[in-house]
Structure 1
Amino acid sequence: MARKLQNLRNIGIIAHIDAGKTTVTERMLFLSGAKHRVGKVDSGNTTTDDDPEEQNRGITIYSACVTFDWKDIHVNLLDTPGHVDFTAEVERSLRVLDGAVVVFSAREGVEAQSETVWRQADRYAVPRFAFINKLDREGADFRRVLDEIKNRLGANPVPIQMPVGQGPSHVNDPFRGTVDLIKMRMATFSDEGKSMKETPIPDELLEDAQLAREEMLEAIYDLSDEVAELAMTGEEIPNDLIRKALREGTLARKIQPVVCGSALHGIGVQGVLDGVKYYLPTPLDRPPVEGVNPRKEDKTEVRKPDAKEPFSALVFKILPAKTGDLYWIRIYSGKLSGNSRVYCPGKDKKENVAQLWQIHATRKERDGQLDSIGPGEIVGVIGPRFAVTGDTLCDQKAPILLESIDFPETVIEMAIEPDSTAERDKLSDTLELLKRQDPTFRATENEETGQTLIAGMGELHLEVIKNRLLRDFNLKVKVHKPRVSYRESISGEKTVTRECNRLHDGQQIFGQVTLKMEPDEKVEAGVKVLNRLPPDSMPPEFVQTVKDEIQARGQGGGSIGSFPLAKIRVTLIGAEANEFSTPMAFAIAAGEAFEEALRDCNPILLEPIMKVSITTPEEYYGDFVGDLAMRRAQIVNTDTHMGVTQIIANAPLSELLSYSGVMRSLSQGRAGCSMEPLDYEEAPPEIAKRFKM
């Protein structure tokens, strides 16, 4: 199956939780004809939220892929979660997408996770436009949200539509349609949005529409000399030229077009679909993908989105199944056929590609098996065995290793215990399956206690995992309360020299190293190892042995509570070798030097700090501030709008366990809260004392 690349769009829908992403996706499927009935989140019958946990909670947990046609374009769309506990789903989706639609609630505006997903899109240089949703809600304010997008996200939003009215039907001027500032026509909608009627702009709205159009044009004068020249001479600017300038500005990430509507009532979603067509990139609009040659790591390889190029693709998600795992891949170059062989350079393994499938939601699409697929596509593959999320698949004759996907470290863990030996084996297999599916999920077994520790991004993440173990896999296990995942670091620095000069199996071995250990705030996890030896002062294999030994020691725990190490830098500054030197001698010397330095550098306990965003009716503001103060929180910012206050604070995770219940109690169930990992900071001495051996 080959499509014209200029007609292909790989896009994602990203936003804060409850901004309306899944509802927007449902409307897009309905309007495109891919679906004959609009599913509703509250009813649990949406296409992309097909997991029982998603349907019960009314939220998206797993990214889902749907495909459909709109006018002359074909869209591969990924609907992503809004809850921060499942941010890895957003991370891996943005890694492989070409463009994104960012959804904002017209009532809540820019929220905590809005900032997170915007930063993620910045990191992957993803062009995007915005959809301001829920303009039919009480308290909706189109202009305020525009200002927040500009000021809080550092963006350059350019409205290409304006709303006709705002708020629900009982207000004086309810939301009832949109004005297209390019065509200068008013649009009203019926039949759940399927029918759109365009009429001249009413006289009472014309002046506001003309001012809004002029603002739009001023924003693109710098993007197009042709538009600016026509404006200066007073000539009419063709609509196609305006769209061309907006597209060029969007692809260069200089602007973000803004459309508006209410997805629940089908108002304005056609504008979103047209925005995908006109403003978001095709695979041809994105830079050629770059990687390294795994056989010559200093050589950069480039792949263009061309069927004649060698095949290259990235695995960005795996759905485990007893009949064969389904690997979601983005093809960057070349063609892929069923019953073929590819190469996984990250594992140095050949992989089988038994079947290719069109993906529908989180399943293989019925009658969607493909014979072959070309560049720019997102497709499901059955057959690989060794690749994991973030791995490259490529042509063995022209290998390339693409940049992988980095995921955040876990901050919370929970102990589980199987009821029997048989259950332990079953649990082990199940956890391995879940780790393949979710790269932010960790599981380790404590052989002394028999407990298994599972770690995740938050309480909700672990609760979803727990429910799957009990419900989907029918495991008989005891589940303990969640606990904080601490880290250990150092507050001092020290230089240590250790020597290995001994007999080993009757043979004299020798090696001496000098290490400098010091704190490093930039090292999020583990230990960073640097080599500062003069060139050619020691054989490379001995240097590598020292680095490997330090890295291995860094994977172990510290001396306070055997928690993982973080924020530590070790530099190899001296070494001595002679005719008796062996790799083993240098490994022993490096290990002893590392352990001595770690003991003497004032070990400290680090605790995870969360960025907390609380939205509460104004009358409960004082209660929340007082409660946060008792939880060692620092208030960063507060903002009140129409009787609703948003509180941004940084607080230790240990003080926020089960906070959702406290929040409901403080506000009589009327407040909302989200939190995301911010950093690790030194814990108070009284907390460190609990863990000292």
Structure 2
Amino acid sequence: MPRKTLNLGILAHVDAGKTTLTERLLYAAGVIDTVGTVDAGTTRTDTLALERQRGITIKSAVVSFEIAGATVNLIDTPGHPDFIAEVERVLSLLDGAVLVISAVEGVQPQTRVLMRALRRLRIPTLLFVNKIDRGGADVGRVIEAIRRRLPGAIIPMGTVDGPGTRAARFRPYGFDDPTFRAALTEVLAERDDSLLAAYVEDESAVTDGRLRGELAAQSRRSLLHPVFFGAATTGEGVPALMTGLAELLPAEAGDPEAEMSGRVFKIDRGSAGEKVAYVRMFGGTVQIRQRLRLGTATSGDAEAKATGISVPEHGGWVRRPHLVAGEIGRLWGLNGVRIGDTIGQPPPSGDLQHFAPPTMETVVVPVRPGDGGALRGALARLAEQDPLINVRSDDTGREISVSLYGEVQKEVIGATLATDFGIDVTFRETTIICVERPVGRGEAVEILNTESNPFQATIGLRVEPGPPDSGIEFRMRVEPQAMPMYVYRNADTFTEHMARYVRRTLCEGRFGWQVTDCVITMIDCSYSLADGPPSTRGPLSTPADFRNLTPLVLMRAVEEAGTVVCEPMLRMSLEIPVWSISAVLTALGRIGAAVKHQSLRGDLTTIEAVAPAARVPDLQRRLPGLTAGEGVVESTLDGYRPVRGEFTGRPRTTVDPRNRERYLLSLTRQGARG
């Protein structure tokens, strides 16, 4: 019978103590003999030199231990919001999570972001209130903040004696505690009518067994979040948390006989520089030397052979001939694989991305001019590990830019380039990433066997505005007999490839920004055959004809439709002291923010506002001074709006197809290089 596995995420706001908690869990499970510390750089999961230098988690790490007959694959994730992309790649893998909250700082901005994501994805989550032994720890205040500021019902699983002292102890409640029994029954009955009816009819009929069972059931369905307390540095409260992991989170045995389904969530490099893919298997089994079908977001399906497999075991990684459903493993041999690719059938967890993409970018400049080529190679390696940094270079190849979530991420990229690749860099001023939206309708067509068209294909495309934040929709409005089935096998495959060509072209619009929120319709198509009618007779059409002709046609249609440059807008939630309302509202007005809602609770007020992303960093810098350090701001992408006033274009990374002569020349050069 397959062994049960629990893929567990440890998440928290930065410095809440999740990496230290990870160390304590490994120590309690007997995986390590001594507990490493973040300050000393000796933790098992912070393996990067830069992580140890800075005392923060930058890359997710997987480590395994055994508990109650199940294998727990514990995934330590970054806490700093600049590395939210690393967190989001983990979310779709999880069977359960522990959200760590500091007993001193309480619920922090990133805590709220993470909890909302966990709730949205219905990931069963336990809360662990850490640092009960630190000065300033206030358990009652934190519980009240959790109830007020985090979504979902909670139940404290015990009480703390001596909080704020080195002698602090967590005392778990027993089911014979009448106060705990009453509170637990009440919160469970709110979500289970049969339990409520049984309790009303005969209180004694609600047995300990029924309460335990319903507590586990509601926790596993993400209806209820049990709260544990402790101190990761001393291990206090960790045994009770481990019991909670075993009893309240869903460890399951996957089906190794099911259809193969997995997802790549991390890319690393081995000791010889080879690519290593981290995979979560949702169904089926991968055997060593097996040919695997890889589904990619950018280039369709491909095949590769797994030449090596390893799985986490007792704190390390061991080689094995197979990887089965429910497990996490490392695969060698998938040389073309990228983060987000699927193995076999797409898993049921859907899209990886749950957080907004980066809204900032910066140009990276090598200190030594001769390092330009090495810099491109190094950034390409970093983009394997984090594709959202989206490395771009202009069409001259001289100016290289990366996308960012924040300034800390920029500092880490610079430090990584220096320490891992020996390349010293500087950064230009961080700028905002805009998009372009069509403002009208445009059409263009290139006809096969005409003087202006050098390709063996006819393509006609129409561009129209789509609803805001709808992305790119591609529609096919030509008959199947007009499609080159001998190349693309069937109409669906041809449609998929054309949609890919269209999306690739729209990465750079009239002003260099991505074109989005549009509907692209293919309105004309034909191909050539040696024995076809005169209008289509000629050399056999190839995929390259359709791929290379698409940019010429589409950009003419985009030019006719016209586009407007739009800047990202952020929806902010500010929690501030009541006495600071006037100063904060004035600051919001100065950055052009529109206040949407304002509410008062106790001595705090919450302000919901929308502002241009380019202006929000200024508010973030000023907020501590305006609120005596008590204000917090959380921001999420709220779509895009047309830029008001002047705007700058973005240097293209490819030759502009609107310059036909230069575009065709670039294709000739590419062919010569190939």
Partner of 1:454: 402
Residue pair 2:260, 2:345 contacting (<8 A) in 1 also:
no
For residue 615 of structure 2, the aligned residue among 649, 652, 655 is: 655
Deviation at 1:456, TM superposition (A): 2.5
- How far does the alpha carbon of each residue in 1:198-253 deviate from its partner, in whole angstroms, 9 at most, with x for none? xxxxxxxx6x445424424534643x66x954773343544333222222223333
Between the aligned partners of 1:58 and 1:516, the Cα distance in structure 2 is 50
Between the aligned partners of 1:485 and 1:505, the Cα distance in structure 2 is 35
For residue 317 of structure 1, the aligned residue among 246, 257, 266 is: 266
For residue 435 of structure 1, the aligned residue among 374, 383, 408 is: 383
Q: Name the aligned partner's letter for residue 439 of structure 1.
A: P
Partner of 1:190: none
CA 1:139 to 1:599, structure 2 compared with 1: closer, same or farther past 3 Å? farther
For residue 688 of structure 1, the aligned residue among 647, 653, 657 is: 647
Between the aligned partners of 1:340 and 1:508, the Cα distance in structure 2 is 41
Partner of 1:522: 469
Deviation at 1:263, TM superposition (A): 3.8
Partner of 1:194: none
Between the aligned partners of 1:44 and 1:252, the Cα distance in structure 2 is 37
For residue 186 of structure 2, the aligned residue among 194, 199, 215 is: 215
Partner of 2:592: 632
Partner of 2:671: none
Is 2:637 the counterpart of 1:678? yes
CA 1:647 to 1:181, structure 2 compared with 1: closer, same or farther past 3 Å? farther
Deviation at 1:430, TM superposition (A): 1.2
CA 1:334 to 1:108, structure 2 compared with 1: closer, same or farther past 3 Å? same
Partner of 1:35: 32
Between the aligned partners of 1:576 and 1:309, the Cα distance in structure 2 is 42
Deviation at 1:469, TM superposition (A): 0.8
For residue 352 of structure 2, the aligned residue among 406, 423, 429 is: 406
Q: Percent identity?
A: 24
Structure 2 length as normaliser, TM-score? Answer: 0.79
Residue pair 2:461, 2:557 contacting (<8 A) in 1 also:
no
- How far does the alpha carbon of each residue in 1:365-405 deviate from its partner, in whole angstroms, 9 at most, with x for none? 27x44455543222233343222222234xxxxx5354675
Partner of 2:516: 566
Is 2:10 the counterpart of 1:10? no
CA 1:16 to 1:478, structure 2 compared with 1: closer, same or farther past 3 Å? closer
Partner of 1:144: 144
Within 5 Å, which residues of 2 pair with 1:349-368?
349-358=303-312, 365=316, 368=318
Within 5 Å, which residues of 2 pair with 1:532-611?
532=477, 538-539=482-483, 544=495, 547=499, 550-558=502-510, 561-572=511-522, 580-581=535-536, 594-611=554-571
Q: Name the aligned partner's letter for residue 177 of structure 1.
A: F
Between the aligned partners of 2:454 and 2:365, the Cα distance in structure 1 is 47
For residue 281 of structure 1, the aligned residue among 225, 239, 250 is: 250
Residue pair 1:85, 1:676 contacting (<8 A) in 2 also:
no
Deviation at 1:477, TM superposition (A): 3.4
Is 2:259 the counterpart of 1:307? no
Q: Name the aligned partner's letter for residue 427 of structure 1.
A: L
For residue 73 of structure 2, the aligned residue among 76, 81, 87 is: 76
CA 1:50 to 1:61, structure 2 compared with 1: closer, same or farther past 3 Å? same
Between the aligned partners of 1:478 and 1:594, the Cα distance in structure 2 is 37
Between the aligned partners of 2:233 and 2:197, the Cα distance in structure 1 is 38
Residue pair 1:106, 1:145 contacting (<8 A) in 2 also:
no
**Structure 1, unaligned stretches of length 5 or more?**
185-205, 285-304, 394-398
Between the aligned partners of 1:508 and 1:357, the Cα distance in structure 2 is 49
Between the aligned partners of 1:20 and 1:639, the Cα distance in structure 2 is 31
Between the aligned partners of 2:175 and 2:370, the Cα distance in structure 1 is 66
Residue pair 1:11, 1:78 contacting (<8 A) in 2 also:
yes
Between the aligned partners of 1:507 and 1:473, the Cα distance in structure 2 is 44
Partner of 1:163: 159
For residue 258 of structure 1, the aligned residue among 227, 235, 239 is: 227
Deviation at 1:678, TM superposition (A): 0.7
Partner of 1:391: 341
Deviation at 1:434, TM superposition (A): 0.8
Is 2:170 the counterpart of 1:177? yes
CA 1:74 to 1:321, structure 2 compared with 1: closer, same or farther past 3 Å? closer
- How far does the alpha carbon of each residue in 1:284-323 deviate from its partner, in whole angstroms, 9 at most, with x for none? 4xxxxxxxxxxxxxxxxxxxx2334465433211112442
Please identify, of 110-119 and 475-484, the stretch whose mean Cα deviation from structure 2 is larger: 110-119
CA 1:428 to 1:673, structure 2 compared with 1: closer, same or farther past 3 Å? farther
Between the aligned partners of 2:302 and 2:524, the Cα distance in structure 1 is 34
> What SS does structure 2 have at the residue aligned with 1:435?
helix
Is 2:365 the counterpart of 1:417? yes
Structure 1 length as normaliser, TM-score? Answer: 0.77
CA 1:22 to 1:651, structure 2 compared with 1: closer, same or farther past 3 Å? farther
Residue pair 1:618, 1:645 contacting (<8 A) in 2 also:
yes
- How far does the alpha carbon of each residue in 1:396-439 deviate from its partner, in whole angstroms, 9 at most, with x for none? xxx53546753453321111233567522222221121111112
For residue 276 of structure 2, the aligned residue among 313, 320, 326 is: 326
Please identify, of 657-666 and 121-130, the stretch whose mean Cα deviation from structure 2 is larger: 657-666
Partner of 1:249: 218
Q: Name the aligned partner's letter for residue 120 of structure 1.
A: A
Deviation at 1:479, TM superposition (A): 2.7
Deviation at 1:180, TM superposition (A): 1.6
**Structure 2, unaligned stretches of length 5 or more?**
296-300, 486-490, 528-532, 653-674
Q: Name the aligned partner's letter for residue 328 of structure 1.
A: Y
CA RMSD in angstroms, aligned pairs only: 4.1
Between the aligned partners of 2:281 and 2:170, the Cα distance in structure 1 is 39
Between the aligned partners of 1:60 and 1:383, the Cα distance in structure 2 is 28
Residue pair 1:455, 1:462 contacting (<8 A) in 2 also:
no
- How far does the alpha carbon of each residue in 1:44-81 deviate from its partner, in whole angstroms, 9 at most, with x for none? 44332333433344332221212122344331111212
Deviation at 1:573, TM superposition (A): 5.6
Q: Name the aligned partner's letter for residue 147 of structure 2.
A: D
Is 2:240 the counterpart of 1:271? yes
Between the aligned partners of 1:111 and 1:607, the Cα distance in structure 2 is 28
> What SS does structure 1 have at the residue aligned with 2:450?
strand
CA 1:116 to 1:143, structure 2 compared with 1: closer, same or farther past 3 Å? closer
Q: Name the aligned partner's letter for residue 400 of structure 1.
A: Q
Between the aligned partners of 2:610 and 2:453, the Cα distance in structure 1 is 59
- How far does the alpha carbon of each residue in 1:431-489 deviate from its partner, in whole angstroms, 9 at most, with x for none? 12111111222112224371211112222222211211122221143432222222221
CA 1:310 to 1:499, structure 2 compared with 1: closer, same or farther past 3 Å? closer
Deviation at 1:608, TM superposition (A): 1.9
Deviation at 1:572, TM superposition (A): 4.1
- How far does the alpha carbon of each residue in 1:652-686 deviate from its partner, in whole angstroms, 9 at most, with x for none? 22224476654556567x35756554133224432
Residue pair 1:499, 1:511 contacting (<8 A) in 2 also:
yes
The count of corresponding residues between Structure 1 and Structure 2 is 622
Q: Name the aligned partner's letter for residue 351 of structure 1.
A: K
Q: Name the aligned partner's letter for residue 569 of structure 2.
A: I
For residue 25 of structure 1, the aligned residue among 22, 27, 35 is: 22
Q: Name the aligned partner's letter for residue 631 of structure 1.
A: I
Q: Name the aligned partner's letter for residue 50 of structure 1.
A: T
Q: Name the aligned partner's letter for residue 215 of structure 1.
A: E
Partner of 2:668: none
Between the aligned partners of 1:356 and 1:228, the Cα distance in structure 2 is 51
CA 1:39 to 1:548, structure 2 compared with 1: closer, same or farther past 3 Å? closer
Deviation at 1:565, TM superposition (A): 1.6
> What SS does structure 2 have at the residue aligned with 1:655?
helix
